Amino acid sequence: NEESFDLPQHTVTFRSAAGRPDGDISFFATDGEILRTSCLRRGLVSPHNGNARLINCRGLGTCGTCAVEIESACSTADESPSIEPPQRNNLENIRLEFPPHGSSDQSPKLRLACQVQVRGDIVVTKRAGFWGQASASTTDGEGGASEEETTMVDPSDAKTYFGELEYLLDRRSPQKSPEDRDNR
Which of 15 and 93 is assigned the larger pLDDT? Answer: 93
3-class SS letters over 102-150 = CCCCCCCCEEECCCCEECCCEEEECCCCCCCCCCCCCCCCCCCCCHHHH
Task: Give the pLDDT confidence of 70-129 residue by residue, as tens digits.
Answer: 999 886 666 788 999 999 999 999 999 988 888 887 888 999 999 999 999 999 988 888
Three-state secondary-structure class, residue 79 = coil
Q: Percent of the chain, pLDDT > 90?
A: 38
Q: What is the pLDDT of residue 166?
A: 84
130 touches 48 (CB < 8 A): no
Q: What are phi and psi of 21, to 5 degrees?
A: -60, -30
Q: What is the pLDDT of residue 137?
A: 53
The neighbouring-strand residues paired with 2 are: none
Distance of CA 67 to the CA centre of its chain: 7
The DSSP annotation for 8-35 comes to -EEEEEEEPTT--GGG-EEEEEETT-BH
pTM higher than 0.85: no
Task: Give the pLDDT confidence of 167-179 residue by residue, as tens digits.
Answer: 888 888 887 655 5
